[in-house]
Structure 1
Amino acid sequence: MADIRFDGKVAIVTGAGGGLGRQHALELARRGAKVVVNDLGGSVDGSGGSSAAADAVVEEIKAAGGEAISNGSSVTDDAGVALMIKQAMDQWGRIDILVANAGILRDKSFAKMEIADFELVLNVHLMGTVKPAKAVWDIMREQNYGRIVVTTSSSGLYGNFGQSNYGAAKLGIIGFMNTLRLEGAKNNIHVNAIAPVAATRMTENLMPPAVLERLKPEYVTPGVVYLCSEEAPTGAILTAGAGAFALSRIYETEGVYLGEGGLSVEEVRDNWSKISDPEGQAAYAAGGEQSQKFFRKLSGG
């Protein structure tokens, strides 16, 4: 089969000044994409800012013969996001790919966490995905083509102590993706998620060096770049780390119909084993499929 290429395509990668985003931007450019390298240049907790990191990645791309421009906007800033889109359109006249990668951490147990830290992380990860996606949406619809990759996390999918803010944001992104993939289908806009495990500034203090060495960001990037391609699926949650790849899915059990007359709390308790029985469970493609199941059960099916 032919190599995956992005000649003539334009990509925006947020948070691309280092770590995962940098690798995504470099690989897209290496395969022919013109890349907007976005990075606020702040610290891991979101404070500060500098264009140096994004500029350095642009220079790497240009030195390798590619095309790129830098953008230092915050993904939470409406005017900054609009500027990023304007730069891409003024320079190349189209936007085909958005990789929403930017993020910060403010880890604490929920008991010790300030609401301000919860709101900030939610804003950067969730709204910092929503705002760029909204800004490119009509462009992609008019083109009848688009590929959006959002970044989730095992902390959102499964939970992680001390990351209630981060986990809430990351699972919120999945809810966002699940609807975008439906709304974008008729215009050939595919929306997928990556759940990476990688050695970056955000994880360097969480694992020993020997483990981090096996978790290089470039071991995740091939999965992300595939999700940016014309061949990409839509609605997938691709998990990746250390060269391993898997799919995460949300399943719902078949459950049990308990009737309406005399329905009680005790009936739910007494039928919990049937409610939680995994036999016949399914991963739904849309929320309406759950309603269809309930109506089927109501009809005796």
Structure 2
Amino acid sequence: MKILVTGGLGFIGSNFILKLLQKENGFEIINVDAKLFGSNPHNLDEIKNSGRYEFVSGNITNKNLMNELISKCDSVVNFAAETFVDRSIKDANPFLVSNIRGAFTLMDITTKQNKRFVQVSTDEVFGSLESTTAMEDSKFNPSSPYAATKAAAELLANSYSITYDSDIVITRCSNNFGPRQFPEKLIPKIIILAEQNKKIPIYGNGKNIRDWIFVEDHCEAVLASLLKGKSGQSYNIAANNEIDNISIVTKILEIMNKSQDLIEFVEDRPGHDQRYSMSSAKISKELGWKMQTEFEDGLEKTISWYMENPQIWKNLDSNIFGSTPWKVSN
């Protein structure tokens, strides 16, 4: 099977490609990536000379290029997206272009070429949940411009499934962590700042709750959805592992033998959702997927990876580690 992976130089996309090429069932990959903010060409250095892998520099909004690449493949998995909520608050336009226009371009072409399309989405489309847990058919209530663009792409995908009988599957995942994540995100940011004995900014009171899943487990779920998912269906992917932010910081500092005094509470992000929660009962029952990596095990693997790969983060712009990135000028 030949798969077009979009956004494959990013965090989840690169891990997905590596997982597929480690398997012995003949996957071939074309990776198209626009090399925008958050992409890292070094994420895939180890397979750049593989005969089963091809990289193409390009944007998913480029209709002619996508037409050409999709014609060479059996299916498309769309990881390409602007994903950082804080940046979407400062400037939503890149999120609309990539997350809506780009997704539309891909699903329109895959529909015309009769190819399977997997749209990788997020639990953030459901918004903040006080006590309930979202199922696949729960109401959308996005709070940030980022989440709204991902919800819009899902609605487009649903419309294509209904109107054109497109072969589209949607996956929604909770918060990912693991190797190769861009350091603007919470867990790598904590690790890198702690290693340098620098203050670690925590929004508000640190009690915001997220479900955390190790990236390799997410990639297995996306692969199961690609191979076995029912057309027109969506699948929630969660680890049943809800933890508040301050507990994560405390745990990382404990593993790294760093002082809790590094924690610094700062101004909360506008519209900061209190809690996300999803049930993954459907994908477990229908596709046989199960989480494999316990949170603490994944955390230790992640810390080790960043300590062993300092070249990934040592020369980054200091603004990436700022306490209020939604206010930082470009």
TM exceeds 0.5? yes
Q: Which amino acid aligns with 1:34?
A: E
CA contact (8 A) 1:152 1:195 kept: yes
Give the secondary-structure state (helix, strand or coil) at the position aligned to 2:237. strand
Separation of aligned partners in 1, 2:10 and 2:216: 11
Q: Deviation at 1:218?
A: 1.0
Q: Which has the higher contact order (CA 8 A, sep 6+)?
A: 2
Residue number in structure 1 paired with 2:146:
166
Alpha carbons of 1:216 and 1:179: their partners in 2 closer, same or farther (altered >3 Å)? same
Q: 1:120 aligns with which of 84, 94, 110?
A: 94
Instruction: Give the greater-gyration-radius structure (CA).
Output: 1
Q: Which residue pairs with 2:75 in the alignment?
A: 97
Determine which of 13, 37, 47 is the counterpart of 1:60: 47
Q: Among residues 16, 29, 34, which one is paired with 1:35 in the alignment?
A: 29
SS at match of 1:234: coil
* Aligned equivalent of 1:181: 161
Count of residue correspondences: 212
1:223 to 221, 227, 236: 221
TM-score in terms of structure 1 length: 0.58
Query: Any conservation in 1 of the 2:7–2:32 contact (CA below 8 Å)?
Result: yes
CA distance, structure 1, for counterparts of residue 183 and residue 103 of structure 2: 18
User: Sequence identity of aligned pairs in percent?
Assistant: 16
Residue 201 (1) aligns with residue 175 (2): no
> In the alignment, does 2:10 pair up with 1:18?
yes
User: Residue 153 of structure 1 corresponds to which residue in structure 2?
Assistant: 122
Partner SS state of residue 235, structure 1: coil
Alpha-carbon displacement from aligned partner over 1:221-251 (angstroms, at most 9, x marks no partner): 111111111x321233322245887168xxx
Q: Which runs of 5+ in 1 are unaligned?
A: 1-8, 45-49, 141-145, 249-301
* CA deviation profile, 1:12-51 (whole Å, cap 9, x unmatched): 111111311112223334332221111122223xxxxx8x
| Aligned-partner Cα distance in 2 for 1:61–1:201 | 20
Matches of 2:110 and 2:87, distance apart in 1: 36
Q: CA deviation at 1:135?
A: 2.4
Contact 1:197–1:240 (CA<8 Å) still a contact in 2?
A: no
| RMSD between superposed Cα atoms in Å | 3.8
2:54 maps to 69
Please tell me the residue identity of whatever aligns with 1:225.
L
Task: State the partner residue of 2:244.
Answer: none
Q: Which runs of 5+ in 2 are unaligned?
A: 130-140, 195-208, 242-278, 283-330
Give the deviation of 1:101 after TM superposition: 0.9
Kindly state the Cα deviation for residue 88 of structure 1 after the two structures are TM-superposed.
Answer: 5.5
Q: Which residue type is aligned with residue 34 of structure 2?
A: L
Displacement after TM superposition at 1:133 (Å): 1.9
Query: In the TM superposition, what is the alpha-carbon distance from 1:119 to its structure 2 partner?
Result: 2.4
Distance in 2 separating the partners of 1:109 and 1:73: 22
Residues 52-109 of structure 1 show CA distances to partners (whole Å, capped at 9, x for unaligned) of 71x863861754xx51211111223x2xx422442454xxxx4221111111245349
